[in-house]
Chains A and B, each alone.
Chain A
Amino acid sequence: MTISTGIRVAALDDVAEGEGIAISKAITGTADNIAILRDEDGSVWALDDTCTHETASLADGWVEDGHVECPLHSSKFCLKSGEVQGLPATKNTCPHRVELRDSDIWLFPNETP
């Protein structure tokens, strides 16, 4: 595991509860863009942004109850582990570690949450 440096990617207020934003791979240096997803309880998570089924951005998905639901065909992924929990996707997506510092969201690409 490569330990990466944290990146400040957004202010907490930039991401509404139940929603997400996509951070470009040009910024994260990862293979895929990264979705910063905020659960309804206010907690913040990060997953590879592209659904493992078809080309859709999980940042545009519905975030609720520890999961994000893909906006195209409603495959569900666990916010914490990236584990797929509903067809049609069959592959897990990759989680990344995030940290809240004051009112900012810091992303640690490729680090396990």
Chain B
Amino acid sequence: MDSPRRIVIVGGGIAGVSTAAALRAGGFLDDITLVDAGEFPYDRPPLSKEYLAGTYEIEKLALQPASWYDDHRIRLVNRTEVTAIRSGEAAVELADGSRLAADRVVLATGGHAARPLIAGVGDALDSLVHVLRTAADADRLRKALVPGARLMIVGGGLIGAEVASTALELGCEVTLVDPASPPLAHAVGTPVACWLHELHAERGVTVLRSGVESISAAVGGMQALLSGEKEPRYFDAVLLAVGMVPSTGLAEAAGLEIDRGIVVDEGQTTSTSAVLAVGDTARRRVGGVLQPRAEHWEAAQHDGARAAATILDLPAPETSASWFWTDRHGLHVEAVGRIADAVETVTRGRIGDPAFSVFGLAGGRVVGAVAVNEPNAARAARRLIDRRLPVETSRLADAGTDLRRLLRG
């Protein structure tokens, strides 16, 4: 294929903006257009925390200042939706029927909040039922989080747990319902996941291990019937936090391969060579094996860097162990790598008494770790994983061992 001259990126989340930044950093000199449905691209992690609490204004969430787009000659087309990909004609079509020329299209369309299979929950949400994916969702939810409001959160994953913490700070009565015990076990290991989940109750959240049979309107609020209960419970608002569904509509209409995400190769190219996909909407096939969607902030950045390298025909950027963080109840939790792959774990400090960290090992090497209020343990773990350095369990377990020394051998 000829060198592309016109790139259109669809979606202004972290994946889309990172793709644009990486293209310029990689020396791409021609046209980059970023089409975003919102006013300007913004960062999503604070939507369940500082933004929901009202501490941050939306301007504070801007992924880049307005001048950045000009400085990098990235044409930002805001409040606009792409309605079709015309890869045969090297273009995308916009909602007003106009077209943008595109030698390459990068789909960074993200996803939308999943709807659980609960009687009374449809695609259209009752005015007292919420999801949290966008700033508009957060604005709507914040209005409901008045002191004393009874909030039921369905799902105890990252969003559910963070909103529980924020809503508690705002003076709400929070009930967190999740049938899994404990949430996040796969990501942080069972002992830490249990402790994190128990923290909710300690801080004053009513935690119920249960499914939800039905949700319906009641006088002045909502009623929810939980599995195994005879009487409904009453709430002023309900948040459905049961994960995301990738937004694959454009890709499907264009006939691209879809499998619970837009299927891409190691370099982020879809089944059509002129179309790439990045971020929450994409699912990579690595070494012939379809990977789970990453659904994390930094993973979306890495996707963008890989897509840019593919477009520019540059070597793929170096990979690093995955990383995510979650903030709840005043704690900063970070997880790196895949602790689920560990055959043994080493705890530095004591679980439940922050700061502490848990390292997962297999074959004498660190494969994953979780750190609570101990950021540099997570940073050390990441480097131990990336550099595939052998570690002595006894040295790692000794809280007196400077983790940087382990990196130096």
Interface residue ranges, A against B (CB under 8 Å): 16-19, 54, 60-62, 69, 71-74, 87-88, 90-91
* Smallest CB separation, B328 vs chain A (Å): 14
Q: Which residue of A lies closest to B327 (CB)?
A: A72
Q: Does B325 contact A (CB under 8 A)?
A: yes
Q: Does B139 contact A (CB under 8 A)?
A: no
When distances are taken between beta carbons in the complex, the residues of chain B under 8 Å from A87 are 14, 18, 43, 63, 301
Q: Does B181 contact A (CB under 8 A)?
A: no
* Smallest CB separation, A96 vs chain B (Å): 23
16 contacts between A and B (CB under 8 A): A16-B402, A16-B404, A19-B404, A61-B375, A61-B376, A62-B375, A62-B380, A74-B323, A87-B14, A87-B301, A88-B43, A88-B63, A90-B63, A90-B64, A90-B68, A91-B65
Complex formed: what's the CA distance from A7 to B306 in Å?
46
A18 touches B14 (CB 8 A): no
Complex formed: what's the CA distance from A91 to B14 in Å?
17
Most buried by B among A60, A71, A91: A71
A62 touches B376 (CB 8 A): yes
B376 touches A71 (CB 8 A): yes
Most buried by A among B298, B325, B376: B376
Q: Which residue of A lies closest to B43 (CB)?
A: A88
Residues in B255-303 with C-beta less than 8 Å from chain A: 298, 301
B379 touches A62 (CB 8 A): yes
Complex formed: what's the CA distance from A15 to B376 in Å?
16
When distances are taken between beta carbons in the complex, the residues of chain A under 8 Å from B379 are 62, 69, 71, 74
Q: Does B329 contact A (CB under 8 A)?
A: no
Complex formed: what's the CA distance from A91 to B62 in Å?
12
When distances are taken between beta carbons in the complex, the residues of chain A under 8 Å from B64 are 90
**Chain A interface main SS type:** loop
Complex formed: what's the CA distance from A112 to B43 in Å?
32
B317-334 interface mask toward A, CB cutoff 8 Å, 1 = contact, 0 = none? Answer: 000000101000000100
A60 touches B68 (CB 8 A): no
Complex formed: what's the CA distance from A72 to B371 in Å?
12
Interface residue ranges, B against A (CB under 8 Å): 14, 18, 43, 45, 50, 62-65, 68, 298, 301, 323, 325, 332, 375-376, 379-380, 402, 404
When distances are taken between beta carbons in the complex, the residues of chain B under 8 Å from A18 are 404
Q: Which residue of A lies closest to B61 (CB)?
A: A88
Q: Which residue of B lies closest to A85 (CB)?
A: B25
* Smallest CB separation, B48 vs chain A (Å): 14
When distances are taken between beta carbons in the complex, the residues of chain B under 8 Å from A54 are 50
Complex formed: what's the CA distance from A49 to B14 in Å?
26
Complex formed: what's the CA distance from A72 to B301 in Å?
17
Known contacts being A87-B18, A87-B63, A87-B301, is A71 close to B375, with CB within 8 Å?
Answer: yes
* Smallest CB separation, B42 vs chain A (Å): 11
- Would you list the 8 A-B pairs with minimal beta carbon distance, nearest first? A71-B375, A62-B379, A18-B404, A90-B64, A62-B376, A88-B43, A90-B65, A69-B379
Complex formed: what's the CA distance from A72 to B45 in Å?
12
Known interface pairs A72-B332, A90-B64; 8 further A-B residue pairs with C-beta atoms within 8 A, sorted by A's residue number: A19-B404, A62-B375, A62-B380, A71-B375, A71-B376, A71-B379, A87-B18, A88-B63
A73 touches B301 (CB 8 A): no
Complex formed: what's the CA distance from A73 to B332 in Å?
10
Complex formed: what's the CA distance from A73 to B64 in Å?
16
